[in-house]
Structures are given as structure tokens and as C-alpha cells.
Amino acid sequence: MDSKNDEALDIIVTNVVATFRTRCHLNLRKIALEGTNVIYKPEMGKVLMKLRKPKITASIWSSGKIICTGATSEEEAKLGARRLARCLQKLGFKVRFSAFRVVNVLAVCSMPFAVHLINFTTNNRPIASYEPELHPAATYRIKNLKATVQVFSTGSLTVTGPNVQNVAAAVEHIYPILYECQKPRCK
């Protein structure tokens, strides 16, 4: 039995979270008053700025640290971050784009078979944990890749990892394990 069984599995990256720094103090009130598409949250001390294209939401703190979420690929995240820095530059701040880092990537994938979660967890303890009353998915943490895979009994997976490469590797890692514990289609 091949490990991938001659089938293409589509991993769809749904969210990429990245951070960068502007190396200068930002006046949140000025951004809130003069910026476009901004939401000011004084109780949390940040400003949310939403870009149309690429579709990104950024949390801007006054220290100059910015978190961008909502991108669908690493390149898009970088593009969005740069566009955001440009917007801030136009508002008048002496912005420098530095320390860009992709922090988290979230992807979903769907197996062509259903998974028997109880067998899967008993075979893979303690890496896998499953508590049906708390959450309907089994959690599988791959330590060396620093990735977490949540396996649902319908065969859908959600994978989170530090970058897209790790996420793909995690899916390749877990496919054979899931294939063994698949639910037979018919009784």
C-alpha cells in the first residue's frame, strides 16, 4: 500500500498570520482619525486596519508592532504587510519595514474516507488525544514539525503550523496513519 495511494490531496490554506515591525512609535489616534478603513479599539490599545486587496486585517499597536491576518498565502501576507506599511507611511509616520515573520498558517484538507477516531486515538497515544464530550475532533500534535492536526470523523482535517512547508509535511506524515484507521464505507 503506497503512502499516498496515487491520489491528489488538496490542501487549502485558509489563513496566514504574520507580524512585522515599523521601528517607530505610531500615534493610534492619528491613524484612527486620518486613516481609511480603520477601527479604533482604545480599551485594547490597538487599531484594526482592513485592506481590500489582498484581503487582510491588521492589528496595529502603538509600539510599532503589527499583526496581519487573513492572507491566503505567504507571498500575499508579505504583499499585504508592505502595502500596510506604505499606508502608514502616507499618513506621515517614519515607517521602516522590518522583522517580517510568518507566525502561523492554517490549512484545511479533506480525506476521501471517513476516520474511526477511537481506533486512531488508541493506536497513537499519547500523541493523539480525543475527548468526544469536549470537542468532536481528535488532536494530533507532531512535535518535530511543530504542527497540530485536528482530525474529524468525516475525514476533514485542519492543520496549523509555522509555515506552509510544515503544513504540507504534516499532512503527508498523517495520511498513512489515517489510512489505517479509516472507517469502512460499507458494513
Residues that bind other proteins (CB under 8 A): 2, 4-13, 36-37, 52-53, 72-73, 76, 83, 86-87, 90, 110, 112-114, 117-118, 121, 125-126, 129-136, 152-156, 164, 168, 171-172, 184-187
Q: Count the residues in the chain.
A: 187
Nearest to other proteins of 20, 130 (CB atom): 130
Asked if 121 and 128 count as a contact pair (C-beta separation under 8 A), the reply is: yes
- Between CA 178 and CA 24 the distance in angstroms is 48
Nearest distance from residue 26's CB to other proteins, in Å? 18
Torsion of CA 77, 82, 88, 91, to 10 degrees: -130
Nearest to other proteins of 40, 179 (CB atom): 179
Nearest distance from residue 73's CB to other proteins, in Å? 5
- Reference 32, options 14, 15, 55, 49; nearest CA is 49
Nearest distance from residue 97's CB to other proteins, in Å? 16
